[in-house]
Amino acid sequence: MKFKNFLIIFVAIIALGAGLLSHRLTAQTQTTTDSTKLPDITLPDLTGTERKLSEWQGKIVILNFWATWCSPCRKEIPEFIKLQTEFEEKGLQFVGIAVEELEPVKEYSKSVGINYPTLIGQVSGINLSIPLGNMISTVPFTVIFDQQGNIVHRQLGELSREKILEVITPLFEKK
């Protein structure tokens, strides 16, 4: 009897945790007008050159935290490559922050033809995403900033082309 009661309580706690996580994930993927600005951090790119995020100020910046071992990350990157090509002249700039070591990122980037800056945040790179809203420290995590550097959308998990277009299209008109 004690085991049965324990099992019921255990299942209830798991269900409560799943519900809270689901609520947090839903809240994290909503479009927002938060005044948080594009952070002025510096990280090395694939060649070892130090790059500041502020160099893309004035553009619509899509900042994507990812890893080569993350299958949802690998799934969304080809669409990011296409969107970068399509909208670069309109002021769209993807920036990837890889949360792992340089070599696997370099190999993967070359194999899929990533056409936007990829910065190496290594394992501590995920810590950079937490103040931006990545409360569960996961990848992929993407933040979209308007031309003034304000966060307009946060996305835990995979980000679709449709959602990106929904968020960025009004920003092109706002310029």
In this structure, the answer to whether residues 21 and 88 fall within a common structural domain is no
Same domain, 56 and 18: no
Residue 114 and residue 149 in one domain: yes
Per-residue tens of pLDDT for the chain, all 175 residues: 665 555 455 544 554 444 444 434 433 444 443 347 888 899 999 999 999 999 999 999 999 999 999 999 999 999 999 999 999 999 999 999 999 999 999 999 999 999 999 999 998 889 999 999 999 999 999 999 999 999 999 999 999 999 999 999 999 987 6
7 and 84 co-located in one domain: no
Read off the DSSP letter of residue 157: S
User: Model-level pTM?
Assistant: 0.80
Question: Are residue 61 and residue 12 in the same domain, yes or no?
Answer: no
Distance CA 13, CA 73 (A): 30
Which structure tokens are listed for 174? 């706002």
Whether residues 112 and 35 fall in one domain: yes
Query: For the residues of 86-104, what is the DSSP string, one character each?
Result: HHGGGTEEEEEEESS-HHH
Residues 35 and 89 grouped into a single domain: yes
- Predicted local distance difference test score (pLDDT) of residue 94: 98
Helices 161-174 and 71-87 sit at what angle, rounded to 10 degrees? 30
Token readout for 3 is 């085991």
**4, 52: one domain:** no
CATH number at residue 91: 3.40.30.10
The Cα 64–Cα 92 span in angstroms is 13
Q: Are residues 14 and 64 both part of a single domain?
A: no
Do 46 and 105 form a contact (C-beta atoms < 8 A)? yes
| 98 and 24 in a common domain | no
Q: How far apart are CA 43 and CA 39, in angstroms?
A: 12
In terms of residue numbers, what domain contains 67? Answer: 31-174
Is 110 found in the same domain as 169?
yes
* Count: domains in the chain: 2
| pLDDT value of residue 37 | 83
Residue 35 pLDDT: 40
Backbone angles phi, psi at 46, to 5 degrees: -65, -20
If asked whether residues 45 and 104 sit together in one domain, one would say yes
